[in-house]
Chains A and B, each alone.
Chain A
Amino acid sequence: AQTVTQSQPEMSVQEAETVTLSCTYDTSENNYYLFWYKQPPSRQMILVIRQEAYKQQNATENRFSVNFQKAAKSFSLKISDSQLGDTAMYFCAFMMRGRDDKIIFGKGTRLHILP
């Protein structure tokens, strides 16, 4: 069975700083997606970034980038130039590609951006 582990329950950083959120996962499969979702206090789960396991290049979306280490089963999220609006719960998530379409989520990291 696949599992996703986020080892940082809570983090705080100053506005404009860079922060890295950690995630590890366990799977015996080779073909899958990894995601970071953001859930602000409004509760809406928002897709931040997606990585396809077969792609070696790390995904980037503006200030958000990932460090995908497939052999180590590690998938960290880096937020550059952090903004107050980045304050949220961040979930790392895993989904098989081609079958079993459920997403498996980690327990989340609560990120506070301080003014």
Chain B
Amino acid sequence: ETGVTQSPTHLIKTRGQQVTLRCSSQSGHNTVSWYQQALGQGPQFIFQYYREEENGRGNFPPRFSGLQFPNYSSELNVNALELDDSALYLCASSLILAGLPDTQYFGPGTRLTVL
């Protein structure tokens, strides 16, 4: 069984740039959720994708967007980067069966630094 993987591991961007982060879900899972974890804080929910559509969104502006592909992998895109976007970005995969969500399993994260 393959676990959740994320790429890249680390990324450095400058303010105003755009970034794309990638996530491959665990085999057998159909749902991907993205979280932002600022230094010293708990993760904050950004959004979730299920069946290639957004299935819930946290309190993040529209410049945070995402995609889910037919193989259930996912991308997180952030436009017009700001210094406060510097954080660890975590992807979690899970299985929604008969409309009921199950436990989320996390990837190792992407550390984004915005200069």
- Tell me the A residues contacting B by CB distance below 8 Å: 4, 33, 35, 37, 42-47, 50, 91, 93, 95, 97-98, 100-108
Query: 21 A-B contacts, Cβ less than 8 Å apart?
Result: A4-B42, A35-B103, A37-B106, A44-B106, A45-B92, A46-B106, A47-B105, A95-B101, A97-B101, A98-B99, A101-B31, A101-B55, A101-B96, A101-B101, A103-B33, A103-B45, A103-B92, A104-B45, A105-B44, A108-B41, A108-B42
A5 to chain B, nearest CB (A): 11
Chain B: number of interface residues, binned into ranges: 20 to 34
The CA-CA distance from A33 to B94 in the complex, in Å, is 14
- Tell me the B residues contacting A by CB distance below 8 Å: 31, 33, 35, 41-45, 48, 55-56, 58, 88, 90, 92, 94, 96, 99-101, 103-109, 111
